[in-house]
Structure formats: C-alpha cells, structure tokens
Structure 1
Amino acid sequence: MKLSLAIVALALAVPTVSYAQDSIAVASTDEYPNTFSSGSANVSPFTQKSKRFNDWAISAGVGVPLLQSGDLTSIKNGNGKNLFGYSAYVSIDKAITHAFGINLQYDRGETRQGWFNTKDAAPADLSQVGARTQYDAISLLGDINFSNLLRRVDNKSTYRWALHGYGGIGTIAYRAYQKDATGQRLMTEIKPFKLGSFFGQAGAGVKFKVNRRIDLETRLMYVFTGDDEFDGGGSQYSAINQREEQVSDNFFNATVGVSLKLGKHESHLMWHDPLQEIYYKLDVLANKNQDIEVCKKGDADNDGVCDDWDRQLDTPAGARVDGAGVALDTDLDGVIDLYDKCVTVPGPVENQGCPLTPTTTEPTGPVQESVSNMEGIEFDLNSDRILPSNTPILNNAVNYINSSNGTYTVIGATDTRASDEYNQKLSERRANSVKNYLIKNGVEASKLNAVGRGEKDLKYPECDPATKCPEWKNRANRRVYFEAK
C-alpha cells in the first residue's frame, strides 16, 4: 500500500518537473530591482519563451501529527495522554501567478493516541488502550500567497518572509493498530483510491527566503479524515468508538521543511511583487523628465525640414520636398518638379525636362533614348522594403521603360555599415524587390536585369567604414537606381 502510493506520486511528479521554465536573468544585488522584488526590469510578451521567473519547486519536510478529535486522544476529549507521532512530506509545486499555485503532495506518517505508546508494554488495566495509525496520502493543494495578494503599498525594499495558505483534497490509506494487556492487533486497514479513502486538509505556513534557490517553511495543517476508525478504535459500534459522538478522527500536523526552486532565472514567481516593478518604472520615467530641443540649427532654406536632418540645405524657394528636405523629381530626369515642364515624362535638362521626341499614349515609332542612367529610390536601414513614398517614382519608371525599346539593369546598393557579405546580399534583395515591383506593374521581364553591388557603389564614396558620415549621406547610399544597357 505504501509503495503503490509512492510510485503514483513519483509518476505524476516526473513529467511536471521536466517542464520547469527559464527566463531573462536579473540582478542579484541589493539594488532595486532585485531578485527579491520585481525579478526583472525588462518588459516582454508573456509567452512560454519569454517567461522571466522560475515557477517550479520541489519541497520536503518533517513534522509531528497529533489527533485533535477522536475516541483515543487528549486534545479535545481527554481520553488518554499527549502522544506525538511523526510525519514527512514531499511535493512538486507549480506557481500559476505571483499569488496562487498548485502543489502535488505526498504525506507519510504515524499518529499515536490513547493512554500509552504502543511500543511500550501495556498496563494490566484493560481499560487503558493504546493505538497507532500508519498512513500514506496523496493530495492536490491550492497555495495562496497572502503576502503578495494583500500587498498594497510599495516599500521599495527586499522582503524575505511570506504568509501562505493551503487547502485541498486527496486520498489517504492507513493501517490502525490497537494494543492493550491482551496484545496488539490490526483494527482497520484502508486502501488508497477507494470511496472511503478521500480526505481534506487545510492550513497555513510561513516561508523564509534564504536565497534564489532555497526557501525554509513551517506549516500547521488540519487534516479532516471523515473516518471514525482512523484512531484505532475499531468498528463503528465498538465500545471505544461509542465513547464520543464525533464521526471523524481529525489531526493537526505541524511541519518544518525546505523548498528547492527550479530553473535558471534569478527570481521565482511567488517572490515577485508587481507593484514594486510598476513604481520603479514610474520613478525611471520621472527621472527622465527633461526638455528635448528640436530644430537646433533652424531651417535655412525654409522648406519645412529642419537643418538637423535636411539633406539639401539650399532647396529653391517654392520647391516641393520629401521628408529629407530634397526637392522632388517625380520622373527622375534630373530636373526638379519646380522647373520641370513635363513633370511625369522624363526629358533632358536643356529641354526643361521634356522629351525631345513627343510621346503619345500609343507610340507609333521607337522612342529616342535620352537618358542612360535614372536615379532610383532609397531604403530604410537594413531593409529591402519599398517605401510608400517611392511608389509614384516607380510607377513613372514603369511608363518610361515601357515606352523605351532598351533594356535596363536594376542596381542595388548599401551604405558602409555591416560586413561586405551582408551588404552584398542586402543589395541583391533591394534590386530584386524593385525589379519584381516593376514586372508586377506591367514591365516586361525581358527588359530588366537585377544586380547587387553592396557597398562598392557609393553615391558618397567618402563614407567609408572608417568615416562617420551624416545620416542623410548614409541614406543616399542605401538606394536602387537604373542603368540603360
């Protein structure tokens, strides 16, 4: 009976221990935030991979059980002497939140009751009866951390003490022996997982945190057996069981134990105080209260873009600009829209941006090639995504290429940050991204070829890896442009 219960408890415990969680490490010093308070100042989505706290533990302890109500006890009824037994427990503990957990617990022990210890010789008086009960139990307990549940004021200090409450049900198996002057005999035996073997227990405990791995705890539990034969008094209508009216032999169990917290994190979830973490972050925000001065250098060309990030500081008055302060050139012909007489059709500078050969919606003859190199679009850092602001430029490129008999090479480039190998692959992705966009919008695939030149084709060659260039130059180097073959 005892062996079978122990095997069941071990079988339930092994799979749960194997799933103990790990998370982001935190400081273990006395400075806030620390392992005794918030556990981590980092913020991350609450997923299995991003857990910041340990939430599994193994606990074990020993104690002293003493019958509180029964026909052979002394706390309530006085039918005997104060005889103390022994007990031990081991449990697998899972923290669900910072204030609630579930424990799978195995208990084993022996209660002693009556007028004498059954290990001693029985007195000659037959009315003096001694008894002992050996029990094994498995129970599922809810664990409420009252210290975390009731904390309402942030004291910004480490805390090592916590009050816990426990309650749950389980199955108990026992052998009850009775002894008198005629000898010792087995009075009652209950097997586990039978209808009459279910019991409940509840109580409280105080935990002390020794370090990130070890907790010490003392508990006082009250065990309700629901069985009038647990104390060894015999059958329901025996002479001993007629002495008192109660129908349940219950006992107290006082224990001391230790908990081993599992996982690689610095802090356990049951020692986490969310309020301290919130107050700490509020303090950090308050300390960062400072004025941010914008547009320190002004706007020299009055184009609406501060000189701090304006890439073209001498924009002509009246010209429309992009977010970087560069005058717009919709058709990429080298003539800004302010001076371009044909804004959407590329043309040479000497003809004010208009083509030398008039174009119609349906060309009747070959288009004269007047542009061999079209400046392209720019990209965000480490990105090959086409920005919405550049789609008008690409749409105009579609019209121009379709109206031309030539073929074009789509060339991708990067700035000098990152390695040569990474930049080469990034430039190829950028070129292919633009090529795919053009084909998707009507350009014949046979007219296009995509190549990447990495950081070997800089618009501003002075921006080598050893030189710290302004961001607008780095952005200009991150581009795609076209070359006519």
Structure 2
Amino acid sequence: MKLSLAIVALALTVPTVAFAQDSTAVVSNGEYPNTFSSGSANVSPFTNKSKRFNDWAISIGAGVPLIQSADLTSIKNGNGKNLFGYSAYISIDKAITHAFGINLQYDRGETRQGWFNTKNAAPANASATQHVAARTQYDAITLLGDINFSNLFRRVDNHSPYRWALHGYAGIGTLAYRAFQKDETGQRMVTEIKPFQLGSMFAQAGAGVKFKVNRRIDIEGRLMYAVTGDDEFDGGGDKYSAINQREEQVSDNFFNATLGVSLKLGKHESHLMWHDPLQEIYYKLDVLANKNQDIEVCKKGDLDNDGVCDDWDRQLDTPAGARVDGAGVALDTDLDGVIDLYDKCVTVPGPVENQGCPTTTAPIAGPVEEKETKLDGIEFDLNSDRILPSNTPILNNAVNYINSSTGSYTVVGATDTRASDAYNQKLSERRANNVKNYLIKNGVQSGKLNSVGRGEKDLKYPECDPATKCPEWKNRANRRVYFEAK
C-alpha cells in the first residue's frame, strides 16, 4: 500500500484535535454595544471560543467491500464463490450547519473477486477457461459532503430528543490500487495505479444510519457505492484482455459496507449535527410563553404625568398639559422664558408680563428663530423638505403674528453639515420656499414674504463642521427654518 496517503491523512488529524476545543464563554469589554450588531451588551466576535456547539469529530470504521459491477465480481452470479474482502477508514468530520458537513476520509482495503480465493490453489485449466481469481489492494482519499436528512426534515414542534439520524454522503477523490490475478501459473500483479493522477480520480456516494451513544460517541452503519471509472480495477488485466471483454461496462464499481465509531471533539454538551436550531427557537418561545414574567418599568413613577419617568425626568413639576422634550422639560419654542403652554406668541419672543408676546407691532429687529428639533419648532426629516404635521400649529401662530405686523419678513432655510455644499444649498431653498408657500396659502400677503436658503452656512451650532461628529440633537437644531425682519 502507499504509505504516503496514510501519512497525509494522519497529519491532517492532528491540527483538527487542537482547534476543535471550544467553550461557552462570552467576552464583554465593557464598552457600549455595537448598535449595528445584535444590540446585546455581551457583544463578542465570532471565534472558536464563542461557539455553542461542538462541530468537529473523528470517525473510524471497518467493513467488507464487494465488487458488484465488473468482469470479475465478489458476489456469486455464475462467477464462482462469494468472496469477501476487508476495508477500514478514518475521517475528519466538520459540521458546517446542523444539516450539512464536510468529511475528509481515508480508505484502505482489499477486494477479492473471481472464481476462487487467491489463497487457494487454482484449477489446472484456469487461464484457458478464464476461471481466474483476483484481489485488489486500494488506498483512497475522498472529500465527502454530509447531509443530515433527519435534521433537515425534522418537525420543529417535535421537542423530544432523538438518538437516530439518517445521513447521506457523496464526494470525489483519488484512488490508488494494485490489482493481482491468479491462475494455474501463479499469482502476479497485473495493474498498478498511483495516487493523485488524472486516471486515479473516482467518486463514491451512499447513506448511513447513526446512533447517539452519548455526547461523545456515535455508532454508524454505512453503505457506500464507489465508481472507479476504471475497467482494470477488478484484476482482469489490460482493458483489452479477454477477461475484460466479458462485460460491456467500462467502470469496475463496488459496494463497501462498514460499521464505525465517531468521536465528537469539543467541550460542549451538544454537537451541531445533533441539534436543530429552529427546534431550539420554538422550544424557547414556548417556555417564555408559559412563564410569568414580572417586568418593573418606571420604578419611581411619573409624579407630574408628563409621560417621562421620574428616573430620568429633569423637571419633576411640569404643569399639566405642557408639551415636554425627552428629558421631561417643558418646551419653550421661542426661548423667551414663557413655556409654550402659557405663551400666546409661541414663535416670537416676548416678555413674561405680556404672556410671551412682543409689546410693539413694529418690525422686530434681528432674527426670529424657529428651531428645527423634533420637540420644538419647525422640523424637517433628514434630506426632506416636507412640512411635518407637528409644525402646523407653530406656522399658524406665525400667520397671525405676521398679519398683525406692518413689517415684512424673510423666511430662512438652513441645513446641517452632512452632504455636499451644493446639495445642502438646494435643500435649504426648498425648505424655505415650502414654508413661505404655506404661509401665503394660509392668509399671509405674498408681498410681506420672501425666502432664501443658506445651506450649511448658517449653523445654530457652528462647531458642527463636516470634520466634527456632532450628536444628533445638534444636527437637528441646525436643520431649522426661521424668520428675519426686513
């Protein structure tokens, strides 16, 4: 036999054992979780240590090969006696998913075929009558795909554990062999094929039934069918010999029935090929559905009933009916010290004693700002010029104020620093025009208004330049629309 093939297979086994040891440890570095991943605080890279299941195994087995399709066969069919050879295999098994894996397998064995056993004496006229005996010693390395049909077709509502599994195998590899023939003149080698040559390629496929003894050991009965693609494998000699002309097929094929043991490697209780992840999901959902979970939210309550829990409320005495921001602080759109609940002129500043309205009808000197945040002021979605429904009460108050004023105003649109200058300029112009058109449509004289877009050149928070990563609330504030008195 070719010793080099056995050495290659053994060398591949050693690193497999070293890297197959995994654990359930999940490492957390204490940093805020990556919001683009699972969102869990226990975020860790997928490494060998973070796996939950064993997915490596080593399998060994032995069996009986029987040549079925050839000029000289092992099974009696008018061709002499039933002759049984022997075989053995060792494989490295890697589970890719719960239903599919890849195995690197080394086979070694000897088939026996013909009219008698090569250990016995040949008849006197064996060569003349072609009643010869043959045996073939072979070595093979195969890359096999492994399909777990039991996991693939198992019902997800079947919560019971199972210990039997049906597997299907198919793959290709390289086959090296030496074929011997015996007649009355003696025994001689008639064919030799070396490994890793074009003519040494072969394929095999079959099925196996596994039984789970425990979390470490499986027992498997397997039946494989090997297609050699070679008419000389059976020991009939040259492909144009008289023996090889007895049958029309050009490929000597054989069955190989084996019984083997798989050793599952790793530290976990379960191997991936014995675990259906869909079954686990449904099982855990059933457990959660039947479990009474008491979840306590807002431990300190909400004393001012503003919708913000006291655990993070920064204003615990908000007046009833006042709109608040995410921190529970009452909104003051125009920043004049009068919250919107009591402010009669929400969009323009005024003294407290005049309920937040200006004391004169003369044009206001300086800008009258409408801050664009999601909680107070005119707001726009990112990359949008559509007026949101939440802005209409503010704009309606602006209609009343501008109509009561004798001055004229400029509607100014602005953006944040994201996107290009040219894009932001056009976006700010569209926002300003939309607000201007809304005011005119609701009763403001068109002669009192004009609009202008200033893009990202008019930032409420100038520190938010393109090179600075600002918090989102500052970016929202920079995306604002406001009025300037002429």
Q: TM-score range by the shorter chain?
A: 0.5 to 0.7
Q: Which amino acid is 1:238 matched to?
A: S
Please state whether the residue corresponding to 1:63 is helix, strand or coil: strand
| CA displacement 1:381-400 (0-9 Å, x = unmatched) | xxxxxxx99xxxxxxxxxxx
User: Residue in 1 aligned with 2:391?
Assistant: none
2:282 aligned with 1:282: no
Cα distance change of structure 1 residues 76 and 246 upon mapping to structure 2, 3 Å threshold:
farther
Name stretches of at least 5 consecutive residues in structure 2 with no aligned partner. Answer: 27-41, 333-338, 343-373, 376-462, 465-486
Q: Is the 8 A contact 2:76 2:82 kept in 1?
A: no
Instruction: Tell me the residue number matched to 1:140.
Output: 143
Is this contact kept in 2: 1:152–1:275, CA < 8 A?
Answer: no
Corresponding residue for residue 224 of structure 1: 227
How does the TM-score come out when normalised to structure 2? 0.60
Q: What's the CA shift string for 1:393-444, capped at 9, x where partnerless?
A: xxxxxxxxxxxxxxxxxxxxxxxxxxxxxxxxxxxxxxxxxxxxxxx89xxx
Amino acid corresponding to residue 193 of structure 2 in structure 1? I
CA shift at 1:121, angstroms?
2.5
Deviations 1:89-116 (A, max 9, x none): 0011111111111111110000111122
1:257 maps to a residue whose letter is G
Q: Return the alpha-carbon distance in structure 2 between the equivalents of residues 216 and 117 of structure 1.
A: 32
Structure-2 change in CA distance of 1:306 and 1:135 (3 Å): closer
1:248-268 Cα shifts (integer Å, max 9, x gaps): 111110000111111222211
Specify the alignment match of 2:399 in structure 1: none
SS of corresponding position for 2:61:
strand
Once superposed, what is the RMSD of the aligned Cα atoms?
4.6
Q: Which moved more, 1:90-99 or 1:122-131?
A: 122-131
Deviations 1:168-215 (A, max 9, x none): 111111111111222111111111112221111110001111111111
- Counterpart residue number, 2:153: 150
Contact kept? 1:68, 1:76, Cα under 8 Å: no
**Whole-Å separation in 2 of the counterparts to 1:318 and 1:153:** 51
**Cα displacement (A) at 1:167:** 0.8
Provide the C-alpha distance between the structure 1 equivalents of 2:136 and 2:103, rounded to a whole number of angstroms: 25
Whole-angstrom CA distance in 2 between matches of 1:233 and 1:68: 14
**Which residue identity lines up with residue 192 of structure 1 in the other structure?**
P
Task: Report if the CA contact (8 A) 1:143-1:166 is conserved.
Answer: yes
CA contact (8 A) 2:74 2:112 kept: no
**Distance in 2 (alpha carbons) for counterparts of 1:323 and 1:246:** 81
C-alpha distance in 1, partners of 2:17/2:241? Answer: 46
Tell whether the 8 Å contact from 1:69 to 1:76 is kept in structure 2 after alignment.
no
Task: Return the letter of the residue paired with 2:186.
Answer: G
Q: Write the distance in 1 (CA, Å) between the matches of 2:148 and 2:280.
A: 18
Q: Assess, with a 3 A threshold, how the Cα gap between structure 1 residues 315 and 86 changes in structure 2: closer, same or farther.
A: same
Match of 1:193 in 2: 196
Aligned to 1:214: 217
User: Are 1:97 and 2:100 counterparts?
Assistant: no
* Matched residue, 1:48: 47
1:143 and 1:167 in contact (8 A); partners too: yes
Does the residue aligned with 2:72 lie in a helix, a strand or coil? coil
Q: Structure 2 vs 1, CA of residues 323 and 192 (structure 1 numbering), >3 Å: closer, same or farther? A: closer
Match of 2:262 in 1: 259
Q: How far did residue 152 of structure 1 move?
A: 3.0
Q: Is the CA contact (8 Å cut-off) linking 1:17 and 1:92 kept in structure 2?
A: no
User: What is the CA distance between 1:242 and its match in structure 2?
Assistant: 2.1
CA distance in 1, matches of 2:12, 2:293: 56
Post-superposition shift, 1:4?
1.5
Alpha-carbon distance in 1 for matches of 2:305, 2:233: 94
For the 8 Å contact 1:72–1:80, the answer to whether it is kept is no
Deviation of the 1:134 alpha carbon: 0.7
> Separation in 1 of the partners of 2:321 and 2:282?
51
Q: Report the Cα distance in structure 2 between the residues aligned to 1:298 and 1:261, rounded to whole angstroms.
A: 54
For the 8 Å contact 1:131–1:177, the answer to whether it is kept is: yes
Q: Sort the Cα spacing of 1:188 and 1:319 in 2 relative to 1 into closer, same or farther, 3 A.
A: closer
Q: Deviations over 1:125-180 (max 9, x none)?
A: 42532111111111111111111111234210111111001111111111111112
Corresponding residue number in structure 1 for 2:110: 110
**Aligned equivalents of 2:239 and 2:124: distance in 1?**
26
Secondary structure in 2 aligned to 1:283?
helix
1:172 match: 175
- Matched residue, 1:204: 207
Query: Taking structure 1 as reference, are residues 25 and 2 closer, same or farther at Cα in structure 2, changes over 3 Å only?
Result: same
Residue 185 of structure 2 is matched in structure 1 by 182
The question of whether the paired residues in 2 share the 8 Å contact of 1:21 and 1:51 is answered with no
Q: Where do residues 53-452 of structure 1 align in structure 2 (5 Å cutoff)?
A: 53-75=53-75, 77-127=77-127, 128-288=131-291, 300-305=303-308
* Secondary structure of 2:287's aligned partner: helix
Output the CA distance in 2 between the equivalents of 1:177 and 1:131: 5
Q: Deviations over 1:203-261 (max 9, x none)?
A: 00011111111111110001111111111111122222222222211111000011111
Contact 2:156-2:282 at 8 Å conserved across structures: no
Deviation at 1:287, TM superposition (A): 2.3
Classify the secondary structure of the residue corresponding to 2:19: coil
Cα–Cα, structure 1 residues 301 and 253, in superposed 2: closer, same or farther, change >3 Å?
closer
Between the aligned partners of 1:297 and 1:5, the Cα distance in structure 2 is 72
- Cα distance in structure 2, aligned partners of 1:135 and 1:9: 15
- Residue 445 of structure 1 is matched in structure 2 by none
Kindly provide the amino acid, as one letter, of the partner of residue 106 in structure 1: Y
Determine the C-alpha separation between the residues in 2 that align with 1:118 and 1:44. 65
Counterpart AA for 2:69: S
Structure 2: how far apart are the matches of 1:90 and 1:296? Answer: 62
**Aligned pair in 2 of structure 1 residues 185, 327: CA closer, same or farther (>3 Å)?**
same
Deviates further, 147-156 or 284-293: 284-293
293 and 264 in structure 1: CA distance in 2 versus 1, 3 angstrom threshold: closer
**Contact 1:58-1:260 within 8 A present in 2 as well:** yes
> What is the letter of the counterpart of residue 154 of structure 1?
D
User: C-alpha distance in 2, partners of 1:309/1:214?
Assistant: 55
Counterpart secondary structure, 1:84 = coil
The number of residue pairs the alignment matches comes to: 354
Deviations 1:298-322 (A, max 9, x none): 7554555456876876667788877
**Is the 2:126–2:132 contact (alpha carbons within 8 Å) kept by the matching residues of 1?**
yes
Report the TM-score, using the length of structure 1 for normalisation.
0.60
> CA, structure 1 residues 310+81, in 2 after alignment: closer, same or farther (shift >3 Å)?
same
Q: Helix, strand or coil: the match of 2:102? A: strand
Alpha carbons of structure 1 residues 287 and 3: separation in structure 2 relative to 1, 3 Å = same
Quickly say closer, same or farther: Cα 1:126–1:318, change in 2 above 3 A: closer
Change (3 A) 1:265 1:25: farther
In 1, the alpha carbon distance for the partners of 2:293 and 2:16 equals 49
Cα distance between partner residues in 1 of 2:132 and 2:204: 28
Asked if the contact 1:69/1:77 (under 8 Å) is kept, the reply is no
**Equivalent position amino acid for 2:88 in 1:** A
